[in-house]
Every structure is written in structure tokens, then in C-alpha cells.
Amino acid sequence: MNRQTLAPGLDGQKAGVVPRPASAGGVQRVRRSFRIDPWSVLWIGATLILLFLVVAPMLRLLISSFQSTDTGAFTLGNYVTAYGNPRRLIGLGNSLFYGGAVVLVSIGFAVPLAWAVARTDMPGKGVVRATVLGAFITPSYLGAIGWILLAGPNAGWLNRVWKAVTGADTGLFDVYSFAGLVLVTALYAFPYIFVFTADALDRVSSEMEEAAHILGMSPLRTVFKVTLPLVMPAVLGGSIIVFLDTVALFGTPAVIALPARINIMTLQLWQFFEFPVRAEAAAAYAVPLVLITIAMLGLQRLILGRKGYVSLTGKGGGRQHMALGRLRWPVLGLCLLVCSLAVFLPYAALAQAAFSRAWGQGFSVANLTLGNFSYLFKEASSRQIILNTFTYSAATACVAVGLALIVAYVVSRRLVLFGGVLAGLCMAPLVVPGIVLAIGFYAVYSAPPLALYGTAAILVLGFTTRFLPIAFANCMAGLRSLNPEMEEAVRILGGSRLLAVRRVVVPLLKKSLVGTWLLVFIPASRELSTAIFLVAAKTRVISVMILDLSENGSFELLAALGFFLLGVTILIVLLGYRLVGRDFLLRKS
Amino acid sequence: MRKANWVPPLWAVIGLGLLAASGARAETAHEQELYDAAKKEGSITWYSGILDQQICDRVGQAFSTQYPGIQVDAIKTTSQVAFQRLLQDLKAGQVQSDVLTTTDIGQMVFLKSKGELVQYVPENGAGLAKALQGVDPEGYFHTGWVGLASIVYNTAKVKPADAPKDWPDLADAKWKNQITFGSPNYSGMVGVWTVAMEQRYGWDYFTKLNDLGPQIGRSIDDAVTVLNSGERIVGMSSVATALRSAAKGNPLAVVYPPSGVLMVISPSGIIKGAPHPNAAKLFMEFQAGPEYSKILVENFEQPLRPDVPPSPGGKSLADMKLFAPTAEQIEKELQPNKAKWRDTFGM
């Protein structure tokens, strides 16, 4: 018995020769723990990396929040500075409210779109999917400016059209309002929930829907009572990401909330970095956000409770698209409306700048140029920056997905006692505003013994830490929908844990993992606050270039860069389609 | 005949080569001495809170052309990030940067008080415009860049005759819902503007501005974007950013108020314990020299020297009235002003 049970993990192909009971007895477990199981090596290794990536910078953050700026001595003064002012408390309150509102609006956009794309026979699914990813890659700063051009109260295009048509004195929309802020943020945040949900909906087999149908339930009721409840974990997982991301967002609030005079936490936080710098107070201001993250995870657990969300079992059920009949086109119309709000309209407004010599002149043939685009490619430095961005983001996505899958597996299959702690650790980095976290990264990574400053590795590590939560949440949602019985079958047949993961979990979650990869890749490619702290002369990335361009008023170049990013995203989606076949994001099946 | 035609150009090439070689050589004995020492160090790292990365790289290339064998690693971030990184480096005892240029003079005053700067007076400093000399009388930091802030308007929507002439005109009721500027809580230059305006017109100036429903952005440069979009038509902005955008053909014009254009000096200093101290000193000479100012002019920035003419559409410092609060005034007034700003504008 022993030789063979020793072997399978190392030589997966020959596994399954000796059947073993599913639940190993206590004696066996003790004996097994003395062997070096490759799976244990893997997960212990993953945990150690996690400790290094997440715990070190976060601990740094926590410690510095108790340190005096001048002397480094223990103090609670930072918390007094951070919270001893009603304006700051209001800012924090507003941010939480803002995050909640963005989540609700995002769900409103994402879930119907995901359902239409994944479960119906609506036409034009490829366009909708590609556009949603286009919205995702749009830097929030640029999307917000696009909306200012559309819905600025004085000169916004939509308002000018409205005034021209109705003869009214005042415009219809005001982007500088809380509603404007929430809408614009949600338009570029909803893709998180969309990708999570569409992916989960893709996995739900039609058996349960059919059962409901046979029991006389109407199709619409089936959607609300059967289909959507099954993808609850995905919707919740995506919502938590959107919430955390919104609370820590700076770009959109900087261009919309500030002129609208809406007091938001990140705007307050930024002020701590004006001279005299109080980075320690900023850390203190951010610490409660980690507690909020933990509370959200608790809430998630409470909502999901003990209900089952397993939709993927060993017996492969078919997936039947719901026939919409005459409703096909109206549903597509609704989807395209969301796409228009997020991409078509703002990019039309931005196009005026991207293709102009001087965008302030307005549209004229003489003012048209492709010069802004050729400038981006002509300059060796901008080519390098673009290449850096995509390389680092791809590396980040690979590391984050690998790490997240292992840790999520350990947590979801309850293989360790401290799974909850691990889950909390994995989720924490996202909510801490980038600039605060970045100081922790810089302190940990650039100092000896690592001394990674100036290398590409420091950026990849920083991005991996920052976006690990996204990968982790998505992997958890995927694993929840997977019936553990299939892995247990492998174990019963003598296969190792590693084999079960490699040959069962990964293939079944393949689509989901590709989606997760994109969910990390895209935000990593637009991440600014971590990047600005960690870049060196040779390792600059697009987001930092965008900041430069916005600061010297080169809006024409900035808009051209936005178009370039949009084009590249669509290319990546098409390339993925070629590589992975029909089952990638443009799946037609 | 053919052969003879070769000769003059050949001599010209040789002559040019000699000229170039002599140009590459340091000008004075002091510079030569620094250059010899700096060559052994081989490079210099410059944390820049000014300009953008491309211009910083241009500066680095020009430096390496003038002083072959010394490479410049320019790292452009915001001044806040540059300073924060520097503080982390100092804390870790690992100084990564040789020279810091920051838009926030308060940072330099702080570093000097902590003894983190090297005293060095560049010889070329004598050639700087008078207004830019002697920023720190003890020579711990020097002018690395000068920002001008003034009134800017959208020429497509405002006729030159109707445009505000001087600072008090901005508060005129006719600009209700038409005016834009940045915030002192996010922009050091806007902060200095509040100090200057309060000195002149009292805080009441800002109360009046608030009655006009101004659109408040973050950075001083946000005004250019807002004005170009037509969302607002007059504002306070950085002159260089406005000139750069106007040079492309955007409908912007700069007003030079008779009572004075606001001048804000961004200082450069050498960090104590820097790994390349001689190259750093040479870099300070370079920033005070003519080549650096020429690069600034190419990018519509203000030249630091009177012997370098300003960009087309720009003005030289000698041709405009300037006003600049002192470092002490800024240090004393800025913090209270930020608080007053929050009370007045609610943000």
C-alpha cells in the first residue's frame, strides 16, 4: 500500500491503482503527516508567499499608524489627527454610502447584462462582452473626463443637445452631483460583477431550470427563483470587490466629487501627503477600512450561510439558452444602452480630443490629425512604457491567479484551521487606498535584504498584492459552485490532492480562471497609486504616463492613449478567443 | 575639380568636431574639477516633482551630452511622492537619490532643518534671473524650476476686451458660474496663490469668489482642461501649461496682471549621503546653466536665465511684474489658509 500511496502525487498519471477510503482514519492521518506531500509543499509555500506579500506591508501600515511622525515612539495621536475632526468622519461616512450606492447601480447594470449574454439567445453577445471589457480597461480618470464632456452643466454635449431641442436655458444633466459621481463610477466598476456573474451563469446547467419549468413555473419566475439565486456567491463576490474598489478610488472623485464639493475619504486622505506630510495619520485613517473588509466577509458568510450553491457536478448537464423570441432585440437594445453609457458616448466625446490638433477648437476638418497616435508610437519611451505595462500586468495576473487558486482551495475545502484568517488576508489589500499601501510596499520591498527597487519584480509584487483580492474572490466563487464529490472521487481512487486540483478543479474552472486572469490583468494595467511609488526610470507604466499627460494639460495625447488601450483590450479578447477557442469570452455555445 | 570640392566641407566637419569637443568640455576650472570627480561616480539619480518624464529625460540626455560618461536617472513623480520616497530612503539609511527638485519649498526648508541637505552654491547661479537668485541665502537649495500662475481665459468665449485685467476682476459678478481654479489642499501653487491674494486683498477675496460658484479642481493645471472643454471660461492657471496648450491651437490666452504675476520657485537640493555627490553638484551647475533653460523654453516653460529668450507667446521675467510671497510667509500662512479654504468653500 505504501509505495503506491507515496507515489501518486509525484506521478499523477499512474494514480488510482490502489483504492483508499475517502475519509482516512485518525491513525492514517497521523502517519500521512510525516510524508512530504507535494500538495502540502505547495500550499504551505503559497501561504508563506502570502504572508510575505500581504502581511509584511499591512503590518508596516498598522505599526506606523501607532508611531509618532517625528520620533517613531508609540502614540495614539495619529488616530486623533485622523478622526478628531468631523469633516474626516463625514468623509468616511460619505465614502461608505458612495460605495454602497455604486454597488447597487453596478448590480443593476451587470446582472441583467450577464444574464442576457450567458443564458439567452440574444444576438450580438460578442459586441456586448467586448464593450464591457472596454469599459473595464478605461482608466477611471479618462472615463470621468469623458462624462464631464458629455454631461457638464454648461458645455456638456448632452446638455447642449437638450437645450437646442427644447429651447431650455439650463441643461438636463449635472455630472457634478452625487448621482453623477455614482453613475460614472458604476459605469467603470460594474464589469467586475459582470465577469463574476456571467462566468457563474455559464456554469449553471439547465437541469434545475427545466425542473422548475416542468413544475409549472413561468420562465421569468425561473430566472428569479432558480437561476439568479444559484449565482448569488458570484454576485456577492463581485459586489464586495466593487465596494472595496470604490471606497479606495481616487481618480473619479478627484475630477467629479471635488468640483461637486462632495467630501470623500480618499480626497481627505490625499491631503495628508501635502506638506507637512502625515503619512502616519493617513495610515491611521486607513486602518479601520481593513476592519470594514473583515466585516464584509462576515456579512458574505452570513448571507450565503449554509445554503448550497453547487451548480457543477460530475454529471454534466446541458445548457439551454432561453429563447427570448421577439424580445431578443429589445433586450439587446438595453444591453447596448449600458454599453453606450460606458463606452460609446464617452469615447465619442473623447474622440474629438484624440483626433484633434487642439481639442478646444471644436470639430473642424482642418483640426483633424492622427498625430497624437503617431506620437505615442514614435517616441521610444512611450513604446517602452506600453510594453512594460502589458508585460507587468500579465505577469501579475499569472502570479495572482496561481496563488489565489491554491489559497482559495485550501480555504474553501477547509483543509486548515485558520482558513478564515487566510481569507481575510487575501481580501484586505484592496480596500486600503493605494497610496497608503504603496508606502508599505516601498518600505518592505525596496529596503534590504530584498532591495528590489528599480526592478520590474517590485511592480509585479506590488500589483499582485493589490489585486490578489480579486483573484481570490473569483476563485472562491468558482470553487463554491464546484461539488467537492468530484475531487473526493479522485481521492477515493487513490489520487493525490494535487492531482485532484490539476485534473479536476483546473479543467472545470478553466473558463473561470481565464476570466479571473483578465480581472487582474486589466486593473493592474491601469493601477496608478502603487505604480507611482514603485516605478523607476526604466520601469514606467501607462498609468504614470497618464498622470504626466494630465498634469501638463496634454489632453489630446491622453485621449489618444485611452483609445489605444480600448483597441488593445479588444485585440486581447479576440486573441484569447483564438487561443482558447469558443469557450473564451466570446463564446457562442 | 571633384576632389577639390571635398576639401572645404571636410575642414568644416573637422572644425565642427573640434568645436563640439570643446563644447563638451567643462567651462571653468571648477567645473572641470567637478566633472573629473563626477566621472568616477558615473551616474546621478534625480527625483523630480517638476516637468514631466519626457522633459526630465531630455534634461538627462542634455546633461550626458555636456558631460559624457555621466548618466542621469530621472524619476518624475509628484512632489509628494518624491518626498515620501525620500523620507523612506532616509529612514532605511539607503539614500537612492542624489538630487531632489520639488514644487513645495516647505519640504526643502524641512530637509534643511533636519540637516539632510548638502550646502553648495553653484557658480552658474550668478547667471540666473535676479528674481530667482539666492532662494536659500545659505545655499542649501536653489531654483530648479519657476512656476508662474496667472489669469487665463477661453478666447472662443471671451473677447480680449472683456477679459479680466487684474486679480480683483476675477471676483466680478459677471463671471458667475464661469470661473475655475484649483485647491490649495491638493496643489502647492494654488496654496501660494491663496497666501498672495490674502496679503493683497484679504480673505474676503475668496468669499467673493465663492459667491460666484467657482468650479474647483485639484491641481493648478486642471483649469486648462476645464477651459478648453468650454465648461468654464475664465480661471487661474499655470502659465506654462496654458501656453503649451495654446501653442497647439487651443483657444486660450494668458493675462499678465499689472499688479503682478504670481511666481512660485521650485527648489533643487543635494541630499546628504547621496551616492554621487560630485555628479549632484555638477547637476546643480547644469540646472543653473543655459542648456537647461533652453530645454525649458522648448517646452513652453519659463527660462531661468535672462540670456535665454522665452518661448514664442511667452514673456521674459524682466518684462513682467512679479510677486512672490517669501518662504517664511508661505510657511506661516499656508496651513491656516488651507483650513480657511475648507471653511469658505466647504472642501
ipTM of the modeled complex: 0.78
Residue B7 lies in a domain: no
pLDDT of A10? 36
Q: Among residues B309, B178, B299, B179, which one has the least CA distance to residue B248? A: B299
Residue B6 lies in a domain: no
The stretch A322-348 carries a mean pLDDT of 90
Query: Among A209-213, A264-268, B196-200, B339-343, which stretch is predicted with the lowest mean pLDDT?
Result: A209-213
Interface contact A368, partner B, CB < 8 A: no
Residue A226 has pLDDT above 50, yes or no: yes
- Do β-strands B215-216 and B179-181 pair in parallel, antiparallel, or remain unpaired? parallel
Mean pLDDT of chain A: 82
Residue B218 lies in a domain: yes
Residue A18 lies in a domain: no
Instruction: Report the sign of the C-alpha dihedral through residues A7, A13, A19, A22, in that order.
Output: positive
Q: What is the CA radius of gyration of chain B?
A: 22
Interface contact B320, partner A, CB < 8 A: no
Residue B168 lies in a domain: yes
A280 touches A63 (CB < 8 A) = no
B310 touches B163 (CB < 8 A) = no
Residue A242 lies in a domain: yes
Residue B10 lies in a domain: no
Q: Among residues A334, A97, A98, A102, which one has the least CA distance to residue A238? A: A102
pLDDT of A580? 60
Q: What is the DSSP string of A312-325?
A: B-SS-----PBP-G
Specify the CATH number for the domain of residue B256.
3.40.190.10
Query: Residues B122, B186: one domain?
Result: no
Specify the CATH number for the domain of residue A284.
1.10.3720.10
pLDDT confidence bin for B22, thresholds 50/70/90: very low
At A357, phi and psi to the nearest 5?
A: -70, -45
**What cell does A186 get?**
458604476
CA B118 vs CA A424, A585, B83, B140: distances in Å: 46, 58, 16, 6
CA A581 vs CA A27, A125, A316: distances in Å: 47, 16, 20
Instruction: For residue A276, say if its preceding peptide bond is cis, omega within 30 degrees of 0.
Output: yes
Residue B11 lies in a domain: no
Q: Give the distance from residue B290's alpha carbon to the nearest chain A alpha carbon, in angstroms.
A: 23
Measured distance CA(B153)–CA(B92) in Å, rounded: 47
The total number of structural domains that make up chain A? 1
Run of H or E including B141: strand B141-154
pLDDT of B36? 94
Q: Among residues A421, A515, A423, A431, which one has the least CA distance to residue A467? A: A431
Measured distance CA(A280)–CA(B296) in Å, rounded: 36
Q: Under 8 Å CB-to-CB from B187, ≥6 apart: which residues?
A: B218, B219, B220
**What cell does B217 get?**
479642481
Highest mean pLDDT among A8-12, A126-130, A567-571: A126-130
The larger pLDDT score, comparing residue A324 to residue A63, is at: A63
Measured distance CA(A341)–CA(A329) in Å, rounded: 18
Q: What is the DSSP string of B26-54?
A: -SSHHHHHHHHHHHHH-EEEEEE-SS-HH
Query: Residues B134, B41: one domain?
Result: yes
A188 touches A138 (CB < 8 A) = yes
Query: Residues B228, B327: one domain?
Result: yes
Query: Residues B223, B311: one domain?
Result: no
Measured distance CA(B255)–CA(B257) in Å, rounded: 6
**What cell does A584 get?**
473564451
Q: Give the distance from residue B107's alpha carbon to the nearest chain A alpha carbon, in angstroms.
A: 7
Residue A75 lies in a domain: yes
Measured distance CA(B87)–CA(B83) in Å, rounded: 6
pTM confidence score: 0.83
Run of H or E including A330: helix A328-339
Which spans in A527-554 are helix H? 529-534, 542-551
B162 touches B175 (CB < 8 A) = no
At B234, phi and psi to the nearest 5?
A: -130, 155
Of chain B, the percentage scoring pLDDT greater than 90 comes to 71
The stretch A460-469 carries a mean pLDDT of 91
The total number of structural domains that make up chain B? 2
Query: Residues B255, B270: one domain?
Result: no
Measured distance CA(A341)–CA(A151) in Å, rounded: 11
Other CB atoms within a 10 A radius of the CB of residue A286 amount to 24
Residue A512 has pLDDT above 70, yes or no: yes
Query: Among A24-38, A40-54, A138-152, A220-234, which stretch is predicted with the lowest mean pLDDT?
Result: A24-38
pLDDT of B52? 85
Residue A345 lies in a domain: yes
Residue range A286-310, pLDDT digits in tens: 888 888 888 888 888 788 766 666 6
Query: For residue B178, which residues of chain A lie inside 8 Å, CB to CB?
Result: 154
Run of H or E including A425: helix A419-431
Domain around A336: 35-312+327-362+370-583
Query: HEC states along A276-301?
Result: CCCHHHHHHHHHHHHHHHHHHHHHHH
Measured distance CA(A183)–CA(A341) in Å, rounded: 10
Residue A351 lies in a domain: yes
Query: Residues B300, B332: one domain?
Result: no
Domain around B63: 26-144+266-317
Query: For residue B224, which residues of chain A lie inside 8 Å, CB to CB?
Result: 553
Query: Residues B125, B274: one domain?
Result: yes
Residue B13 lies in a domain: no
Q: Give the distance from residue B43's alpha carbon to the nearest chain A alpha carbon, in angstroms.
A: 13
CB-based contact B342 A87, cutoff 8 Å:
yes
pLDDT of A543? 86
At B142, phi and psi to the nearest 5?
A: -140, 165
Other CB atoms within a 10 A radius of the CB of residue B155 amount to 17
CB-based contact A548 B345, cutoff 8 Å:
no
The stretch A175-192 carries a mean pLDDT of 94
Residue range A244-291, pLDDT digits in tens: 889 888 888 988 998 899 999 888 888 887 767 788 888 888 888 888
CB-based contact A548 B54, cutoff 8 Å:
yes
Q: Give the distance from residue B135's alpha carbon to the nearest chain A alpha carbon, in angstroms.
A: 19
User: What are the b/e assignments for A429-446, b being 16+ CB within 10 Å?
Assistant: bbbbbbbbbbbbbbbbbb
**What cell does A243 get?**
465596494
Query: Residues B332, B192: one domain?
Result: yes
CB-based contact B75 A275, cutoff 8 Å:
no
Residue A2 lies in a domain: no
Query: Residues B239, B308: one domain?
Result: no
Residue B224 lies in a domain: yes
CB-based contact A453 B250, cutoff 8 Å:
no
Q: Among residues A187, A133, A237, A147, which one has the least CA distance to residue A586? A: A133
- Do β-strands B252-255 and B141-154 pair in parallel, antiparallel, or remain unpaired? antiparallel
